[in-house]
Structure 1
Amino acid sequence: MDSTQNKFYHIHGLDSRSLLDFYFSDKEDMVFGEDTLRFPMMNLHCVFSRGIDQTQDKELNLKASIKHIVTCNLEEENLAHPLVLPLADCVISAALLDVVSKDEEDYMRNLEKVSNLLRIGGHLILIGLLNTTYMTAGADRFHMMKYDESFVRSALSKLGFVIDYCAVQRRRNVSDLVDYSHIYFITAHKENDQTQDKELNLKASIKHNVTCNLEEENLAHPLVLPLADCVISAALLDVVSKDEEDYMRNLEKVSNLLRIGGHLILIGLLNTTYMTAGADRFHMMKYDESFVRSALSKLGFVIDYCAVQRRRNVSDLVNYSHIYFIAAHKEK
């Protein structure tokens, strides 16, 4: 199809239900989940949990805040025995449970001890190996407990954890030093009864749903909104901008919504010309990473974080090569 025949969604309208079904649903044949759901959510979690700026200062402060290195006492219910530590905001466990647990029952006991170190609402980061029985250190082989992904998910659930993120990667090496099949990384929070209340409070805090008026310099026209601390734009500029000059104009309109020092989170697709919704193809502006970096710089933004992921699906519904996630702050 000639790209000049592609429609513009903000001019011609599109089937929003079809858009959601094609790119954001939980249907089995929806192939975009890795790019449109997991990749943005993973990076949002990364940016908001670590803070967008002052990374170096935070690293130095973190190092300075370490007061004790505590031996893990596996024979006691309190792993820090004889110390009594305040409940933690976050605990990281990397393969510890795999090597100290004899069987599934023992794993559950040890996981519960780790859980007891956390406050309600605190986060557990769990890294481990699947389907392994041993690892080698020096001249000796050491036990590792064999289990699969479903077991660790079930174990966390039984102890009141909710998994926020899970990544499982197939083994990418050949060695007889250890016999695992996959490595996994899980972040989970220790749930409490206030989770539903927080969701309701968040929904109740939404005061307005504002239509984006692309014909006006003020995107919220006729409303005049207070300058925002953060604006998130996900592929909007890609679909409404005809060319690079138009993109710059639209990006400036988005910038005008932000206070100095405010943050812009920009999610978009690289090297694309169209997307499909319903029976129609819609225009998407083609550009590369260097263009979007230059555009942000010209408008006074400093990029704090950038992640670019190669496309991980096969479909002719859309023709991008990469998806990107940028967090930037407005310096001037």
Structure 2
Amino acid sequence: MDSRRCKLYRVHDFDSRQHLEMFLSDKAKMVFGEDFLKFPIENLRKTFISGHIKGDILLDLSMGSMIHHLYSACEFFKHIIVLKVKERCIMELKRWVDTRTGAFDWSHAAQLHAEIEEYSDQFLEKEIKVRSALQHVVKCDLQKENMTEPIDLPPADCIINVCLLDIISNDQDDFIRNLRKFSKLLKPGGHFIFIGLLGITCFTLHKEKFHMLTYNEDFVRKAFIGEGFTIDFCEVKKRTAESDLTDYKGVIFIAAHKQK
């Protein structure tokens, strides 16, 4: 795909509901379940069950209106604060939080979490816990030094970032600058969970291509280490989905902690 003709997430309109339907739903034609749902959920559960990542505040900085990665987190943090760049993503997410008619159905993700945790009959309780923990959805401006101005957020115990660094960063230097800005939201010793796509250039939504930053595992590792993180866990999964909607080569999961 030619990234020079791609739209930019921060600049152009982004249909967050269509993104969920095409890449994260339980529809039969949605081929990304193994890579985008199961792989992150399995590694999040593995990471949190170790017991050393927990606390009061979790910040979620993720692309679109996805919440499937928060099902494991809600067991280990009292409060989840979601930061969103796009107003449309906030509206879509709040529709689910408030259980409004027409909200995206995440029951397949809740069921998958429950099965991985071997409590398959308790998936409805998962959704209740996530809604209870998800206290605030906040609009943020990534161009500002304090991206949530005029709100001052308390330092977080953990940040989860799913593909947001991928889609907001114009180049690899920009990725590092954004990572540095996000890391300032963490407490000393706080944890950063990163889920991204390797070797991608674009993805297609409504026949429109959106830019994604191209990088490999070595770059991400060096970026985190260069910004003062110690990588505790890293797992890479080679692409399994067959689709021309996007050209990623694999999915990477990193759990790291900020050196004090």
Q: TM class by shorter-chain length?
A: 0.7 to 0.9
Given candidates 86, 110, 119, the residue that maps to 1:189 is 119
Q: How much has 1:14 moved relative to structure 2?
A: 1.1
Q: Which residue identity is paired with 1:188? A: E
Instruction: Give the match's secondary structure for 1:303.
Output: strand
> Partner of 1:239 in structure 2?
167
Equivalent residue of 1:209, what SS? strand
List aligned pairs for 1:131-210, cutoff 5 A: 164=113, 187-189=117-119, 199-200=127-128, 202-210=130-138
Give the Å deviation of 1:216.
1.1
Specify whether residues 33 and 190 from structure 1 end up closer, same or farther in structure 2 by C-alpha distance, changes over 3 A only: closer
| 2:232–2:255 CA contact under 8 A, matched in 1 | yes
- Look up the SS of the partner of 1:11 in the other structure: coil
Counterpart of 1:69?
none
Deviations 1:148-170 (A, max 9, x none): xxxxxxxxxxxxxx87466xxxx
| Counterpart check, 1:290 vs 2:218 | yes
**Pairwise CA distance, 1:289:** 0.5
C-alpha distance in structure 2 between counterparts of 1:263 and 1:2, whole Å: 35
SS at 1:21 equivalent: helix
Residue 11 of structure 1 and its aligned partner are, at CA, apart by: 0.7
Identity of aligned residues (%): 45
Q: How much has 1:244 moved relative to structure 2?
A: 1.0
| Number of residue pairs the alignment of both structures matches | 203
**Structure 1 residues 188 and 11: alpha-carbon distance in aligned structure 2, compared to 1, 3 A threshold:** same
Q: CA deviation at 1:207?
A: 2.6
Matched with 1:16 is: 16
- Is 306-315 or 44-53 further displaced after alignment? 44-53
1:221-232 → structure 2 map (5 Å cutoff): 221-232=149-160
Identify unmatched segments of 5+ residues in structure 1: 54-161, 167-185
Shift of 1:248: 0.8
CA distance in 2, matches of 1:314, 1:308: 18
- CA separation in 2, counterparts of 1:257 and 1:238? 19
What residue is the counterpart of 1:30 in the other structure? 30
Answer yes or no: is the 8 Å Cα contact 1:52–1:304 preserved in 2.
no
- Tell whether the 8 Å contact from 1:230 to 1:263 is kept in structure 2 after alignment: yes
Deviation >6 Å, runs of 4+? none
C-alpha RMSD of the superposition: 2.2
Contact 1:271–1:286 (Cα < 8 Å) also in 2: yes
Which residue, out of 297, 300, 303, partners 2:231?
303
What is the aligned counterpart of 1:263 among 170, 183, 191? 191
2:137 aligned counterpart, secondary structure: coil
- Output one character per residue of 1:55-92: Cα deviation in whole Å (capped at 9) or x when no partner: xxxxxxxxxxxxxxxxxxxxxxxxxxxxxxxxxxxxxx
Amino acid at match of 1:189: Y
Name which one, 1 or 2, has greater alpha-carbon Rg: 1
Could you tell me which runs of 5 or more consecutive residues in structure 2 were left unpaired when the two chains were aligned.
54-110
| Cα-to-partner distance string for 1:122-162 (whole Å, 9 max, x where unaligned) | xxxxxxxxxxxxxxxxxxxxxxxxxxxxxxxxxxxxxxxx8
State the 1:253 CA deviation.
1.1
Please name the residue that 1:84 is paired with: none
Say which SS state the counterpart of residue 327 (structure 1) adopts: strand
Q: Is the 8 A contact 2:2 2:201 kept in 1?
A: no
CA distance in 1, matches of 2:227, 2:176: 9
CA contact (8 A) 1:219 1:254 kept: no
Given that 1:274 and 1:284 are in contact with CA atoms closer than 8 Å, whether structure 2 keeps it comes out as: yes
Partners of 1:282 and 1:37 in 2: how far apart? 21
Measured at CA, do residues 190 and 276 of structure 1 come closer, stay the same or move farther in structure 2, by a change above 3 Å?
Answer: closer
Aligned match of 2:76: none
Q: How does 1:47-58 map to 2 (within 5 A)?
A: 47-52=47-52
Letter in 1 for 2:187: R
CA 219–187 in structure 1, closer or farther in 2 if over 3 Å, else same:
same
Distance 2:120 2:226 in 1: 44
Separation in structure 2 between the aligned mates of residue 269 and residue 199 of structure 1, nearest angstrom = 26
Q: Which residue of 1 aligns with 2:258?
A: 330
SS where residue 253 of structure 2 aligns? strand
